[in-house]
Amino acid sequence: MRSRYVFLLAILAVVFAYAGTQVASAPESNTLPILPTPDFSKLTAHPVIRVVDGDTIVVSNKGKDIKVRLVGVDTPETVHPAKPVEHYGKEASRFTTNLLKGEKVYLVGEPLPGALDRYGRTLAYVYRAPDGLFVNAEIIRQGYGHAYTQIPSKYMQEFKQLEQFARKAEKGLWGPAPASHEPAILKHVVLNEDVYDIPLKTQVVLNILVSGEISESGLRNLLQKLYSSTKARGGFKYHSSPTNIYIYAFTSKERFESGMGQWIAMLQQSPGDLGPRISINKRQIAQLGAKPEEKFGLSEEKRKEIWKELVLIEDRSQKEAEERNPLSPHLTQSQFRRQAEKIVRLQEQLEKRYKNQLAKKYHLTRKQLEEIAMEGVTKDWPMPK
């Protein structure tokens, strides 16, 4: 049931996951540059072993640890042997850690693949997998580093524009009062917890409700801390600690109770993983702080009600069509196919009838009704139970 809307949600999830910089680093003014996205299908995703500081990371490449210097960006020093910790250095290191801890990255060499700096570090543009976030650019855009101009690089002009944007917006180190602590841990309550302790695995599944000033870095920070505390648990029958951990964060009970996987962030760790993997729902992140808008003379809350009715219409139509044309195991293959075709045709007829009734109920056209349906998908509105 509700297969059409689930299909659309799946399509949008793929689009947002691979939209790269255009989604994760959405321009906040018309002056921001549009940076091209590489063809990731031709690149290898390297696990991030650790973050050295704001502009240097260590990745695994064919079993070897490779130190990578992010090209075109310079963050305040924290580990330089001849320099003290610089202003906003710890914050920059923490920001890059929040972006990349437990993640994989694509490397695009600059000026050539495998090029090294004088310290033997691989020079590269770094893109987070699988969402394609351009890490070099994001550090500058968020004010945790500035454009490096002493040595020309491919995106130097674009990075200078990003720095100007961050300065004007007083982001990060350009702000009047730099933060001196980690992003505040989001408030959360546990909705439920399931533990499966069997010889094959000891699995913990945790569903939580988050609130407060929700951000991607805050979500990552919270999930990482919950993972650490869950991984440290003991007292299981078959394994000393959990072998599989899944943590799902929701912004409302409605989204959790829909049973349709409408989380805003999730962490998963299974045997064989180098570390926990965190996924972020970019559609929900994009809606944070958005002001409700009126359309077709209807408030957003009313349109959400209509959206739920639309989803239930699909459920109702399918159920009625199947009840009128039951599929018996005693049918021959050709009879089964004809019966299935009847179900599909009847379901389409019923959906059309019920949607016409719904449009009439709210004084809407069918086109307006379809726009509300698409709005519900793109904004990831809670589905009915």
Long-range contacts of residues 283-288, Cβ cutoff 8 Å, at least 24 apart: 283/12, 283/13, 283/16, 283/378, 283/379, 283/380, 284/251, 284/380, 285/216, 286/23, 286/26, 287/379, 287/380, 288/214, 288/215
- Identify whether residues 137 and 53 lie together within a single domain: yes
Long-range contacts of residues 343-346, Cβ cutoff 8 Å, at least 24 apart: 343/318, 346/320, 346/321
- Identify whether residues 154 and 213 lie together within a single domain: no
The 10 Å CB-count burial string (b at 16+, else e) for 166-204 is beeeebbbbeeeeeeeebeebebeeeeeeeeeeeeebbb
- Identify whether residues 319 and 198 lie together within a single domain: no
Size of the chain, expressed as the number of residues it contains = 385
pLDDT recorded at residue 118: 82
pLDDT recorded at residue 31: 64
Please determine, for residue 244, whether its predicted confidence score (pLDDT) is greater than 70: yes
Structural domain of 328 = 300-378
pLDDT tier at 381 (50, 70, 90 boundaries)?
confident
Q: Is residue 6 part of a domain?
A: no
- Identify whether residues 233 and 359 lie together within a single domain: no
Q: Which residues are catalytic?
A: 69, 77, 121
Among 287, 313, 329, where does a domain finish?
A: 287
Q: Calculate what percentage of the chain has a pLDDT beyond 70.
A: 85
Q: Across all residues in the chain, what is the average pLDDT? A: 84
Q: Is residue 5 part of a domain?
A: no
More confident residue, 133 or 109: 133
CATH number, domain at 64?
Answer: 2.40.50.90
Question: Encoding tokens for residue 29?
Answer: 């003014």
CATH number, domain at 203?
Answer: 3.30.300
pLDDT recorded at residue 139: 95
- Identify whether residues 324 and 200 lie together within a single domain: no
Of 131-140, 164-173, 212-221, 284-293, where does mean pLDDT reach its minimum? 284-293
Q: What are phi and psi of 22, to 5 degrees?
A: -60, -30
More confident residue, 14 or 384: 384
Q: Is residue 2 part of a domain?
A: no
CA–CA dist 63, 145 (Å, integer): 30
pLDDT in tens, 181-225: 455 668 899 999 999 999 999 999 999 999 888 888 889 889 988
Please determine, for residue 14, whether its predicted confidence score (pLDDT) is greater than 50: no
Question: Encoding tokens for residue 115?
Answer: 């090029």
- Identify whether residues 157 and 253 lie together within a single domain: no
- Identify whether residues 66 and 124 lie together within a single domain: yes
Among 109, 144, 174, where does a domain finish?
A: 174
Q: Is residue 319 part of a domain?
A: yes
Q: Is residue 58 part of a domain?
A: yes
More confident residue, 82 or 166: 166
From residue 160, alpha-carbon distances to 3, 141, 324, 373 in Å are 46, 10, 66, 41
pLDDT recorded at residue 48: 95
Q: Is residue 10 part of a domain?
A: no
Highest mean predicted confidence (pLDDT) among 18-27, 97-106, 210-219: 97-106
By CB atoms closer than 10 A (0-12, 13-18, 19+), residue 60 is: middle
- Identify whether residues 52 and 146 lie together within a single domain: yes
Rounded average pLDDT over 85-113: 85
pLDDT recorded at residue 7: 47
- Could you tell me which of 5, 16, 53 has the C-alpha nearest to residue 284? 16
- Identify whether residues 31 and 106 lie together within a single domain: yes
Q: Is residue 7 part of a domain?
A: no
- Identify whether residues 364 and 248 lie together within a single domain: no
Q: Using alpha carbons only, how large is the chain's radius of gyration in Å?
A: 25
- Identify whether residues 123 and 29 lie together within a single domain: yes
pLDDT recorded at residue 79: 67
Q: What are phi and psi of 65, to 5 degrees?
A: -85, 125
User: How many domains are contained in the chain?
Assistant: 3
- Identify whether residues 142 and 37 lie together within a single domain: yes
- Could you tell me which of 18, 16, 19, 27 has the C-alpha nearest to residue 158? 27
Q: Calculate what percentage of the chain has a pLDDT beyond 90.
A: 41
More confident residue, 381 or 310: 310
pLDDT recorded at residue 199: 93
Residue with the two structure tokens 């064989």: 272
pLDDT recorded at residue 274: 61
Among 174, 200, 227, where does a domain finish?
A: 174
pLDDT recorded at residue 149: 81
pLDDT recorded at residue 47: 95
pLDDT in tens, 24-77: 333 344 468 889 889 999 899 999 999 999 899 999 998 899 999 999 999 988
Q: Is residue 268 part of a domain?
A: yes
pLDDT in tens, 314-357: 889 999 999 998 888 888 888 888 888 999 999 999 999 999 99
